């Protein structure tokens, strides 16, 4: 099928590449000419496992191309996917500016019937509104329908999550739209949930916010474990064997970040308030996460009289491993606070430094090329991301390179036992400290 995809961010690009991989003829559109030129050469703007290989493969076999010429792409497409961002506004609600600007372009140029599929995460009722907008702006003889097809891909495993998704959710209001989407996804051979547009929109928020809540719940239990001298690893394992709970997303840590959970929790909470219904569990997930992100910072403030001039090594900057994305990463707020308090920081991340540098630069923040240089001479080390090379560090490394081997592990990268009797002071989340 001839498909156009608007937006070449995480969602748009991965969707376009995977649809091409499944045999469709795909044109991806973006306004950034430089990005489009590089994509046509097979260079991905994001670091994502397996993406560049599939990008190159499908460019070569001629069923994928990138353009800034939206008119041509929208005019020839049978189905137009929209995967542009819906960033958070100041009041927490989702901004639909990018989405409406794409719809404007579509409405201004289409010449034949087409199905517009919204992949972006949007407030419930948006698909209905967009369809009304098309009905009002496009000539009556052209049939434009809107369908919701939310995305559940996680960064770092986006290609795999798309090609082997747990489910494909399709929100449609007509058999025409359903049959088009069914035939697009036929080749994926995945379980399909076909429902109304509003249900589909809600499934996306409810899923993401449930996962965020699961993490905040575990973080709160972990904090309490520290107080009552229990161990969150054992507690989580004991919980995980209950199939109603399951083993995933039970990892306590320094809080969730990224482009989805923080934004989607705030958007649903704000939507609830708009309708006069306060979603209290979502509010709790947000508040616990905000508090959790500064847990280690608060502990440092209690442990030391001052952080002025203290040499601190920061290990990991991205919001999780496997991505160079630092959006809402817990490292951001912590590094800002530590710099304000006069600490002198060295920082390392295998892929995230470039993005981080664009947001924070300071004479007291020195980016390093490897972990050993980062740890050298430090009085405290803080771990924000569980990269595998960080997990491979040994107590010997901390002891050997640091001036005083005091480690605050925000991602529980190590077992407590590994540090017993090593002379390294080890603090983690939801477990007793080793001194």
Kindly list the catalytic residues: 260
Tokens coding 53:
């290989």
Residues 435, 429: Cα–Cα separation, whole Å:
15
Bridge partners of 344?
Answer: 311
- Rounded to a whole number of angstroms, the minimum distance from the CB of residue 406 to ligand UDX is 23
- The rounded Cα 128 to chain-centroid distance in angstroms is 26
Interacting residues with ligand UDX between 208 and 227 (CB under 6 A): 208, 211, 215
Bridge partners of 426?
Answer: 407, 434
Edge-first strand order for the sheet with 311-315 is 365-367, 344-348, 311-315, 380-383, 406-409, 425-427
Residues 162, 13: Cα–Cα separation, whole Å:
11
When asked if residue 48 is in the footprint of ligand UDX (CB under 6 A), the reply is no
For residue 295, give the H/E element and its range: helix 295-303
Interface with ligand UDX (CB under 6 A), residue from 47, 205, 261, 348 = 261
Total binding residues toward ligand UDX, as defined by CB under 6 A: 19
- Rounded to a whole number of angstroms, the minimum distance from the CB of residue 428 to ligand UDX is 13
Interface with ligand UDX (CB under 6 A), residue from 250, 312, 365, 375 = 250
Q: Which is nearer to ligand UDX, 36 or 282 (CB)?
A: 282
Residues 412, 416: Cα–Cα separation, whole Å:
9
Residues 268, 35: Cα–Cα separation, whole Å:
32
The label of the residue with tokens 């970040």 reads: 257
Q: Which stretch binds ligand UDX (CB under 6 A): 62-70, 177-185, 207-215, 351-359?
A: 207-215
Interface with ligand UDX (CB under 6 A), residue from 258, 316, 395, 410 = 258
Residues 340, 353: Cα–Cα separation, whole Å:
20
Q: Which is nearer to ligand UDX, 15 or 155 (CB)?
A: 155
As a whole number of Å, the end-to-end CA separation of the chain is 63
- Rounded to a whole number of angstroms, the minimum distance from the CB of residue 347 to ligand UDX is 18
The two counts, helices (H) then strands (E), for the chain are 18, 14
When asked if residue 249 is in the footprint of ligand UDX (CB under 6 A), the reply is yes
Q: Give the CB-nearest residue to ligand UDX.
A: 260
Bridge partners of 2?
Answer: 25
- Rounded to a whole number of angstroms, the minimum distance from the CB of residue 410 to ligand UDX is 9
Q: Which is nearer to ligand UDX, 352 or 395 (CB)?
A: 352
When asked if residue 428 is in the footprint of ligand UDX (CB under 6 A), the reply is no
- Rounded to a whole number of angstroms, the minimum distance from the CB of residue 385 to ligand UDX is 8
Interface with ligand UDX (CB under 6 A), residue from 14, 82, 260, 300 = 260
As a residue count, the chain comes to 435
When asked if residue 251 is in the footprint of ligand UDX (CB under 6 A), the reply is yes
> Per-residue string for binding with ligand UDX, 304-343, x by CB under 6 A?
---------------xx-----------------------
Q: What is the dihedral of CA 75, 76, 79, 83, to 10 degrees?
A: -70
Backbone dihedral angles phi then psi of residue 148, each to the nearest 5 degrees: -100, 135
Task: Quote the strand ranges of 149-301, DSSP E.
Answer: 168-171, 192-195
- Rounded to a whole number of angstroms, the minimum distance from the CB of residue 96 to ligand UDX is 18
Interacting residues with ligand UDX between 102 and 161 (CB under 6 A): 151-155
Q: Which stretch binds ligand UDX (CB under 6 A): 91-99, 189-197, 244-252, 357-365?
A: 244-252
When asked if residue 236 is in the footprint of ligand UDX (CB under 6 A), the reply is no
Interface with ligand UDX (CB under 6 A), residue from 12, 16, 253, 410 = 253
- Rounded to a whole number of angstroms, the minimum distance from the CB of residue 30 to ligand UDX is 20
For residue 261, give the H/E element and its range: helix 261-274
When asked if residue 8 is in the footprint of ligand UDX (CB under 6 A), the reply is no
- Helix 197-228 × helix 280-293 angle, to 10°: 50
Which residue ranges make up the site for ligand UDX (CB under 6 A)?
151-155, 208, 211, 215, 249-251, 253, 256-258, 260-261, 319-320
């Amino acid at each position: 099928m001839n498909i156009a995809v608007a937006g070449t961010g995480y969602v748009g690009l991965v969707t376009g590449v995977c649809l091409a991989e499944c045999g469709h003829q795909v044109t991806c559109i973006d306004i950034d000419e430089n990005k489009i030129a590089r994509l046509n050469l097979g260079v991905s703007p994001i670091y994502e496992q397996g993406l560049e290989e599939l990008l190159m493969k499908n460019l070569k076999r001629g069923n994928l191309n990138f353009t800034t010429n939206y008119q041509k792409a929208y005019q020839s497409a049978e189905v137009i996917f929209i995967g542009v961002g819906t960033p958070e506004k100041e009041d927490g609600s989702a901004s639909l500016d990018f989405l409406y600007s794409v719809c404007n372009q579509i409405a201004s140029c289409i010449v034949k019937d087409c199905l517009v599929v919204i992949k972006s995460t949007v407030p419930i009722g948006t698909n209905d509104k967009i369809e009304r907008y098309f009905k009002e702006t496009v000539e009556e003889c052209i049939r434009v329908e809107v369908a919701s097809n939310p995305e559940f891909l996680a960064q770092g495993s986006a290609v795999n999550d798309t090609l082997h998704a747990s489910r494909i959710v399709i929100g449609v209001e007509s058999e025409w739209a359903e049959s088009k989407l069914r035939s697009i996804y036929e080749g994926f051979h995945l379980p399909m949930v076909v429902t109304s547009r509003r249900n589909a929109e809600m499934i996306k928020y409810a899923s993401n916010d449930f996962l965020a809540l699961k993490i905040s719940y575990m973080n709160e239990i972990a904090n309490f474990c520290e107080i009552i001298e229990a161990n969150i690893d054992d507690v989580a394992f004991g919980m995980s064997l209950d199939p109603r709970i399951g083993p995933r997303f039970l990892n306590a840590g320094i809080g969730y970040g990224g482009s989805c959970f923080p934004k989607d929790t705030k958007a649903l909470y704000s939507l609830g308030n708009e309708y006069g219904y306060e979603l209290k569990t979502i509010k709790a997930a947000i508040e616990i996460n905000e508090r959790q992100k500064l847990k280690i910072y608060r502990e440092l403030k209690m442990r030391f009289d001052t952080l002025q001039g203290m040499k601190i090594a920061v290990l990991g900057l991205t919001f999780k491993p496997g991505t160079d994305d630092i959006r809402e990463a817990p490292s951001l707020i912590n590094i800002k606070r530590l710099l304000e308090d006069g600490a002198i920081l060295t920082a390392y991340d295998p892929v995230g430094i470039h993005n981080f540098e664009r947001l924070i630069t300071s004479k007291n923040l020195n980016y390093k090329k490897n972990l050993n240089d980062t740890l050298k001479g430090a009085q405290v080390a803080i771990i924000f991301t569980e990269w595998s090379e960080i997990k491979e560090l040994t107590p010997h490394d901390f002891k050997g390179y640091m001036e005083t081997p005091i480690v605050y592990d925000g991602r529980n990268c190590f077992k407590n036992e590994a540090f017993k009797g090593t002379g390294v002071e080890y603090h983690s989340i939801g477990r007793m400290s080793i001194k």
